[in-house]
A and B are shown apart, each in its own frame.
Chain A
Amino acid sequence: MPELDPAAPVEPPLIPTTTLEPVDLVAAVEGPEPEAERAVRRGRLGIGGTAALFWLFLVVALALLAPVLPIDDPNTSIASIAKQGPGTEGHILGGDGLGRDVLSRVIWGSRATLLLAVSAVLLGLILGGALGLIAGYFRGRADTGLTGLFDVLLSFPQLILAVTLVTVFAGGGVSSTRRMIVLILALGVVSIPVLGRITRASTLSWCQREFVTASRAIGARNRSIIIGEVLPNVLPAMFSIALLGIAVVIVAEGGLSLLGVGIQLPTPSWGNMIAEGRSDLRDAPHIVMVPTVAIFLTVLALNYLGDIVRARFDVRESAL
């Protein structure tokens, strides 16, 4: 053992300390991959993720601030801008078939669309999550029953189930509020089995870990194990699927509107703007294209972030 001499120059360690950080083997073999792709694979934000977050932040901020923004009233018609394309003076995105400002409608429309999407997914997340936790934790008969319930709910094409529920419970001539509540309930019900299944699968795998057994061994109650030990670990999986779920509901709102059972006018929504603008597609395609682009960018951003969260927490798609 050499004596330590404080004056001796510190020799560089044989292995540079930097290699103690994980080596990117893929990069070593295949050469550097584009930054965006590497970010997704490792669950980091990267340029794409930052752009996605920025877009969502913008959309949510505009939706929340709509009442104080210096924009026209979404339901006031100005005859002179009817069907005028983007770039019309004072109306950046032009006017719709009835001469209402498209920019204002797309911002106000985001409120209804986002309210619906977030509420419905939250409902599905709470109910589906609770059922999935129960099925995965207790297994046995509860699991058989709940898995059966998910199977039955999934045996309807989702959009058709939603259309049916909305038509039966808020078919026509109902108030905007009632339609909105029924839409939230219907799309919430539709998302229960999807979120329930992923929660169940994730719960099953976490319940086999030592710390859960340890909690059981020291006599913790089932409820406190589920809430204290299992739930925090299952949340990332639920969250990543919930992001995709919000995207799916935004698209579904468009589909429902085209079938005449979406968010009800006069409340503007992205979906009913598209449905209404369809009759002017020939002369004024921008009425349809503006909300369509808004949906596309928002769904793209949500999918991208969902993928990042999934990669980060290693949520396997096979568990779906």
Chain B
Amino acid sequence: MILRRLAHLVIVLFFVTLFVATLTAMLPGDPVDAIAGFASPEQKEALRQDLKLDDPVYVQYGRWVGNFVTGDLGNYYSVTGGRPVADRVKDALPVSLQLMLEAQILALVIAIPLGVFTAYRAGSRFDKGANATAFALLAIPNFAIALVLAYYVGVRFGWLPVSGYVKPSDDLVEHLRRMAMPAIALAVGQIAVYMRLLRSDMIATLQEDYILMAKSKGISPSHVLWRHALRPSSLTLLTVAGLNVGVLIGGAVIVEVIFSLPGIGTLLYEAIQARQYIALQSLVAIIAVGYVLINFLVDVLYAVLDPRIRHARA
């Protein structure tokens, strides 16, 4: 099982990196013109030598992977010369990871009790209301939530700052104040997904005989729900929470731009605006490789947690 997954991982990583590595070659026209249109002919020739764009594709691919793995992410090109992309990524990556982690935690902390309770009281007015709300929330793009929050909470009432970032190690309270709106904007859609998912799994679990057994022994309902029913119901939730990282990454990029958080998304935005294709290539690679690795970890973790899968699909 793990071996097959590993082989799958290697193949997917190969194609993903191949695609990213050949992005510059896919640029319409002369790639050097696209990367550094402002440069003089001599500078362009130097850049062409430097990037070795005339090498065969497989040589370029090998070199690109070597550079990427060793942390050489290429340069930003400007009239004043090149600056390494890696320097900025080093500062930006933690910001994005914090944002996604905090959003994910927030989503789970809200969705799990809601999912458990709506399953326990399935069909009640509260259940129906929560479900309808979740359905509506799913239709709101996260940038819309971000903009509405920014306007009402940030501008109109002035409760929270609308932009900027503070490291948690510098000032935890201020950090959370700045991350609150971006994290909420990202979490809202996830809450709806997780709640609906956990609810339907919980309802199925609550039909099991051992739950009836536990109830008939006189164990309190909350104990049955949280101790007996939640764990077996949470496996799908875990998988989806892992798969949803892709949605989270896409959302985080946009939310970062809206709230001016200096994360990978903001770097990506700047690279697009300034047409820094080498930087774009490296940033996309970081995002895609990170996403593939997270999915792999979720798969493995899922197998570890559920012995049925470890053996059944071997």
Tell me if A187 is interfacial: C-beta within 8 Å of chain B. no
B147 engages A281 (CB within 8 Å): yes
Interface residues of A in 235-252 (CB under 8 A from B): 247, 251
Interface residues of B in 117-132 (CB under 8 A from A): 123, 128
Which residue on chain B has the smallest CB distance to residue A307?
B135
Residues of A within 8 A of B275 (CB): 167, 171-172
Residues of A within 8 A of B269 (CB): 259-260
Residues of A within 8 A of B273 (CB): 172, 260
Residues of A within 8 A of B136 (CB): 300
A155 engages B288 (CB within 8 Å): yes
B147 engages A160 (CB within 8 Å): no
Which one, B26-34, B75-83, B86-94, B107-115, is touching chain A? B26-34
Question: Number of residues in A with C-beta < 8 Å to the partner?
Answer: 42
Residues of B within 8 A of A261 (CB): 272
Contact with B along A163-192 (1 / 0, CB 8 A): 110011101100000000000000000000
Interface residues of A in 198-239 (CB under 8 A from B): none
Contact with A along B219-259 (1 / 0, CB 8 A): 00000000000000000000000000111011101100110
- Known contacts: A255-B143, A259-B253, A292-B144. The answer to whether A157 contacts B287 by CB under 8 A is yes
* Closest beta carbon of chain A to B189's beta carbon, Å: 10
Tell me if A77 is interfacial: C-beta within 8 Å of chain B. no
**Considering the chains assembled together, what is the distance between the CA atoms of A151 and B243 in angstroms?**
13
- Known contacts: A258-B257, A288-B147, A299-B141. The answer to whether A157 contacts B250 by CB under 8 A is yes
Which one, B11-19, B177-185, B205-213, is touching chain A? B11-19
Find the residue from A30, A151, A285 having the highest chain B CB count within 10 A: A285
- Known contacts: A261-B272, A292-B144. The answer to whether A158 contacts B246 by CB under 8 A is yes
Residues of A within 8 A of B151 (CB): 281-282, 285, 288
**How many residue pairs between the two chains, A and B, have CB atoms under 8 Å in the bound complex?**
126
**Considering the chains assembled together, what is the distance between the CA atoms of A160 and B249 in angstroms?**
8
Tell me if A303 is interfacial: C-beta within 8 Å of chain B. yes
Residues of B within 8 A of A258 (CB): 143, 254, 257-258
**Considering the chains assembled together, what is the distance between the CA atoms of A152 and B28 in angstroms?**
24
Residues of A within 8 A of B16 (CB): 152, 155-156
- Known contacts: A285-B151, A288-B147. The answer to whether A168 contacts B277 by CB under 8 A is yes
Tell me if B150 is interfacial: C-beta within 8 Å of chain A. yes
Which residue on chain B has the smallest CB distance to residue A30?
B123
* Interface majority SS (helix, strand, loop, mixed), chain A: helix
Which residue on chain B has the smallest CB distance to residue A178?
B28
Contact of B250 among A152, A159, A278 (CB under 8 A): A159
A171 engages B141 (CB within 8 Å): no
* Closest beta carbon of chain A to B136's beta carbon, Å: 6
Which residue on chain B has the smallest CB distance to residue A283?
B155
Q: How large is the interface on B (under 10, 10 to 19, 20 to 34, 35 or more residues)?
A: 35 or more
Contact of A259 among B144, B150, B268 (CB under 8 A): B268
Tell me if A274 is interfacial: C-beta within 8 Å of chain B. yes
Tell me if A81 is interfacial: C-beta within 8 Å of chain B. no
Contact of B272 among A158, A260, A278 (CB under 8 A): A260
Tell me if B295 is interfacial: C-beta within 8 Å of chain A. yes
B141 engages A254 (CB within 8 Å): yes
A169 engages B254 (CB within 8 Å): no
Tell me if B59 is interfacial: C-beta within 8 Å of chain A. no
Tell me if A37 is interfacial: C-beta within 8 Å of chain B. yes
Tell me if B61 is interfacial: C-beta within 8 Å of chain A. no
Residues of A within 8 A of B27 (CB): 168
Interface residues of B in 134-150 (CB under 8 A from A): 135-136, 138-141, 143-144, 147-148, 150
Residues of B within 8 A of A260 (CB): 269, 272-273
Contact of A167 among B144, B249, B280, B288 (CB under 8 A): B280
Tell me if A295 is interfacial: C-beta within 8 Å of chain B. yes
- Known contacts: A278-B147, A281-B147, A303-B135. The answer to whether A164 contacts B284 by CB under 8 A is yes
Tell me if A12 is interfacial: C-beta within 8 Å of chain B. no
Q: Could you write out 14 A-B pairs with CB less than 8 Å apart? A: A155-B295, A163-B253, A163-B272, A164-B23, A167-B275, A167-B277, A167-B280, A172-B275, A254-B141, A258-B143, A258-B257, A274-B144, A292-B147, A295-B144
The residues of B with any CB-CB pair to A shorter than 8 Å are 8, 11-12, 15-16, 23, 26-28, 34, 123, 128, 135-136, 138-141, 143-144, 147-148, 150-151, 155, 245-247, 249-251, 253-254, 257-258, 268-269, 272-273, 275, 277, 280, 284, 287-288, 291-292, 295
A157-B250, A168-B277, A281-B155 known, 6 other contacts, Cβ within 8 Å = A155-B16, A159-B251, A159-B253, A258-B143, A296-B144, A303-B139
The residues of A with any CB-CB pair to B shorter than 8 Å are 30, 33-34, 37, 148, 151-152, 155-160, 163-164, 167-169, 171-172, 247, 251, 254-255, 258-261, 274, 278, 281-282, 285, 288-289, 292, 295-296, 299-300, 303-304
